[in-house]
Amino acid sequence: MTVQRSGDAENSDKDLLRFLTCGSVDDGKSTLIGRLLYDCALILDDQMATLERESRRFGTAGEDIDFSLLMDGLEDERQQRITIDVAYRFFATPARAFIVADTPGHEQYTRNMATGASTSDLAVILVDARKGILSQTKRHAFICSLLGIRQIVLAVNKMDLVGFEESSFEGIATQFSAFAIGLGDLSVRAIPLAARFGDNLAAPSSRMLWYHGPTLLEHLHSVEVGNGGSGRPFRFPVQWVNRPDAEFRGYCGMIVSGTIAPGERVLISGSERSARIKEIVTSDGTLDMAQAGDAVTLTLESEIDIARGDLLADPCAPPEFVDQFAAHVIWLSEQPLVPGRSYLLKIGTRIVPATVTALSTASTSTRWRIWRTGR
């Protein structure tokens, strides 16, 4: 995994949007991010010099700068000219901060795409205007919907290669909208782009005057970021018990839903035990309140035996316990899922054995073949 950062401490208080770019191979995902950073003047001089040098060595844009190389940091990615790993990039504009995950389009690396989608609020699904909607486009859209992403941008890229024709864009947008109806309650915004040249990225394109919608950056600025799980009952899977000495015992982890404050009572899920929060500790000091998404250490007013994998919860809204459930599964193993076989199931920070009793026949065999991938 590659992580790169543009910005400074003053961005820490800005509204944060996490999004990913996905879609089929060679639809321009890495180029889009690189060009967007360039148009926002977020590439430093030394990075620009390196990019120009690498473009001459690995680039596919002729004499022009190959902006995809800004994200494809692995040597294999540059030699094969595909994205393999997930590259995360932090950047900020005056209006908002962003974390973007550039994910691979090759079917072989679908598991890496799912990893990037698992922490995103919005997905930018790219489509090559010449090729239209492909099976990998649908696969990535389906995975995004399964992982709870409700905000979708259909980025119809490489419009320069179809003469910037409105009919090409409208046909792809209509086809995707018809497909997206089966994915649940999604908000889809279609935007025509020529990412290599910056058309409709940060500024409106003079070559697509027929398009009257927002640029990609304008849309990313306008999307409302929900409160995540802050409005749901408190849930805190214990990641680690921090015991540096006999005087301190803290429970480390990330709040996955709800809020918590010192003095509030929490239930140790699966038992009748409860305790009040004494302090919320972070590397920057103590907090008066923490919410979903915060990584914190909680201390309790009373001594209770709590271990990694335990779940602290709201005693007024305790979690439900079941011994069986139904689920949609993104199956990425080369070996098939076998009913009756025992598997290891990761729930929060706990790993438990589980047995698959049956595969549902509600979905057609065609859909099963589409969404089951090799890796």
- Are 21 and 116 found together in one domain? yes
Q: What is the pLDDT of residue 2?
A: 42
Per the structure, how many domains does the chain have?
3
- Are 145 and 189 found together in one domain? yes
Q: Which of the listed residues 164, 191, 222 is the one where a domain comes to its end?
A: 222
3-state secondary structure the chain: CEEEECCCHHHCCCCEEEEEEEECCCCCHHHHHHHHHHHCCCCCHHHHHHHHHHHHHHCCCCCCCCHHHHCCCCHHHHHHCCCCCCEEEEEECCCCEEEEEECCCCHHHHHHHHHHHCCCCEEEEEEECCCCCCHHHHHHHHHHHHCCCCEEEEEEECHHHHCCCHHHHHHHHHHHHHHHHHHCCCEEEEEECEHHHCECCCECCCCCCCCCCCCHHHHHHHCCCCCCCCCCCCEEECCEEEEEECCEEEEEEECCECEECCCCEEEECCCCCEEEEEEEEECCEECCCEECCCEEEEEECCCCCCCCCCEEECCCCCCCCCCCCCCCCCCCCCCCCCCCCEEEEEECCEEEEEECCCCCCCCCHHHHHHHCCCC
Q: What is the pLDDT of residue 71?
A: 64
- Are 211 and 272 found together in one domain? no
Q: What is the pLDDT of residue 369?
A: 35
pTM for the full predicted model: 0.77
- Are 240 and 211 found together in one domain? no
- Are 88 and 199 found together in one domain? yes
In this predicted structure, the answer to whether residue 319 has a pLDDT above a threshold of 50 is yes
Q: What is the pLDDT of residue 45?
A: 72
- Are 101 and 157 found together in one domain? yes
Q: What is the pLDDT of residue 13?
A: 63
- Are 37 and 144 found together in one domain? yes
- Are 240 and 118 found together in one domain? no
- Mean pLDDT for 237-245 is 94
Q: Which of the listed residues 195, 222, 249 is the one where a domain comes to its end?
A: 222
- Are 105 and 43 found together in one domain? yes
Q: Which of the listed residues 197, 222, 247 is the one where a domain comes to its end?
A: 222
In this predicted structure, the answer to whether residue 291 has a pLDDT above a threshold of 70 is yes
- Are 28 and 144 found together in one domain? yes
Residue 228 in domain: no
- Tell me which of 126-130, 300-304, 360-364 is least confident: 360-364
Range of the domain at 350: 322-375
Q: What is the pLDDT of residue 119?
A: 86
Share of the chain above pLDDT 70, in %: 82
Q: What is the pLDDT of residue 29?
A: 87
Residue 89 in domain: yes
- Are 9 and 85 found together in one domain? yes
Q: What is the pLDDT of residue 131?
A: 95
- Are 66 and 210 found together in one domain? yes
Residue 227 in domain: no
Q: What is the pLDDT of residue 52?
A: 65
Residue-wise pLDDT for 298-310, tens only, equals: 999 998 889 999 9
Residue 229 in domain: no
Which CATH number is 239's domain given? 2.40.30.10
- Mean pLDDT for 245-268 is 94
Q: What is the pLDDT of residue 150?
A: 93
In this predicted structure, the answer to whether residue 84 has a pLDDT above a threshold of 80 is no
